Structure 1
Amino acid sequence: MYKGYAGRILRVDLTSRNVKVEPLPDGLALNYLGGTGFAARILWDEVNAETDPLSPENVLIIATGPVNGTAFPPSGRYMMASKSPLTGIWSESHVGGHLGPELKYAGYDMILVKGRSSEPVYLMIDDDRVEVRDAKNIWGKDTRETVKTLWDELGDRSFKIACIGPAGENMVKISSVISEMGRAAARTGIGAVWGSKRLKAIAVRGSKDIEVADPDGFMQLVKESIRMCTEEFFGKAAQDTLGKYGTPCLVEMLNSIGRLPTKNHWTGVFDKANLIGGEAVRSRYRFAQVPCLACVIQCGYISYIREGRYAGTITKGPEYESIFALGSNCLVSDIEAIIHMNMLCNLYGLDTISTGKTLSWAMECYERGLLTKEDLDGIELRWGDVEAMIKLIEKIARREG
């Protein structure tokens, strides 16, 4: 097996609760490298065009690459793939943080999940010890409560946990998987695939080393990669801006060139962009920096609202995409409301981008008379109406109405 890889695939059949470990084929590593490449090959081989994405026959893939868990930037990212319940075709969603590296430290390059459990379960991975455990006590909980409950049950907060919320359990087609209480594998409805399999969470802890073929040569590549990111790809000014403000700095930048999605994409300019951009977040609500493993930029952060209407709101981000989707695209200029809705989406396990864009589309339909108050269970969905948006976010998560 090539260096850099753990050299093993973890296969889980939730119908039988059978778990087995297979060697990672050399040909797979050589020809498909890792991550998306691995997932594309597996999906091609194991899922056909007629497979229902929410059926037991669909495969859930969690994949890493050869540099995950090393000092190479940004080695914290991993990916999930499946056949999408949203589109019926390829599903791919990437997420940062530390769970991907932890999976490598536990000794696995990929997890492949098939079947459907008769009851809610979660997967516990502790190096070579792998168990499919009962999850009835956490089914129905939001993603934050799920993680806290599992940490108490496992007795160790070093476990890295990815889970679904009520939206995934209800197989909402824009549901996400929340990794480490705020990093989202959000696109293409991957959370619904977890829900269809009755898989609530995966908890991973590992202690193995990752071997590289030439440690000295590898560290030279790491240094060169850092130099290229700093001096060539981003540039020092862009790196400093992203590190200071995170991706919300893109709000005002894109607004200045007419590229900020506004009013369901009717325009690219929002006259209140300064109220929801990087400085608006950083000046009052940025609480802590939470970078991915080995990241040069370190843009990840946590927001916290200390007082007022949304006091107590604490959430990872929001990122630029969440801000435009729940903000300018719905004509919302209240950054606290955006932060709060971002938190709700993370707790329920909803894709903030798809949720926000669904709401902005519905707002335009309401404005044009294509949707009525009766269609929306008595909700008047006008542009910028945060309370109406919150009510609909809750309904989407529970598949009500």
Structure 2
Amino acid sequence: MASITLEKVSVSFPVYSSATRSIKNRLIQSATGGQIRSESGSDRISVVQALQDINLQLESGDRIGLVGHNGAGKTTLLRVLGGIYEPNEGRVAVDGSTVPLFDISLGMDPESTGYENIILRGLYLGLSRSQMRGRLDEIADFTELGDFLNLPIRTYSAGMRMRLAFAVSTSVAPDILLIDEGIGAGDAAFLQKASERLKLFTEQVSIIVLSSHSEELIKRMCNKALLMEHGRVVGSGSTQDVLTQYRQRQEGGGSVEISAPLPLEIASKPATPSDPSAWAMETARFLREGRWDAVDVDRLVEEVVSLVDPDPDRDLIEGQLTYLLVQLLIWHWRESERSGLRRETIDQVRHQTELMIREDKNVVDAAEKSLESAYKKARSTAAQRMDIEESQLPAKCPVTLPLLLDRTWFPGQAAADDAVASRRAADA
């Protein structure tokens, strides 16, 4: 029976050197819902408090809508539920298989064919290779990509990739479904087809958590709702009561109204000017006029953070390394976890990481710098999943980056241990 429990969950993100850039700091503070504070004892670190003291209890049959302004913390909460973000404080317990429909292309390899990526994405969803082969024809037919499925997906357009990712992600209903806003999935005909499939898909799911600015969509899909502001839950209850409370708070605070209902469950965000100068000028005008609904907050934050983060690849590669290290720690410390599926997953993550760093020295440097940080996160996560004390695992990462990515090496086996010894000697 599926369930979700969150107890006093908080998530914060440090932004280094931002306090020294007053214009940028004011932009972040005015455009995001999280609260910004200076780290104690430092004038070079600011902390964006994305979630604060979130308590949540969901059981089978719950369909909950997340309501709030841009940057209120809705997407961060979904990413915590999906296991993408680890909370700084509090406890998260998710019982049941989970599929996030806000990052549906996760785990897909641009150098592999469409057919190969169907299998690969299925492995990330927890299915076996044989189960995915049984669904292969149905998924292929739904995508309408034909012979393109025999080509590497790096040759696909964005719409074609979205079709493939959507078809795989909705090929099997999970226990828990996480949806963030809309999903752009192609032309109008395919949107209608995808909308019908998503409707059937959601009917089979035990728990749905949906974040949307569409009042009509939340009314149609949800029986409960949470109202979020600045990373906190400020209201909860029936969908209608929470939407009414949201409108009242908007009217009292001069905020904008909820956007007009979407015609489909699946929609893409409105386009923003491609010219950076035109976008910056337009965004500045929206901010001066208080038109928060018109601001592309995701892009604004990315642009601002890029000013203080000269290494944009580091977060991405650190996430890859953290996931890989978690799998290897569990493999090493729990012999019962050494399944063929886990081995295939480890191999695929290694392959993906190798592709990311193969020809880019900057990414290699970012990976090497991120290894210890990734291991620290992986150590905590693995200990929690295995229900053991963190102190039982090595305090520092016991392997180098080349060994970590060596697909012939697996810890906990005699041959592998010999390989570790020889490679350590070579590294020394």
TM-score bracket relative to the smaller structure: under 0.3
More helix by share: 2
The two structures have a TM-score, normalised by structure 2, of 0.21
The two structures have a TM-score, normalised by structure 1, of 0.22
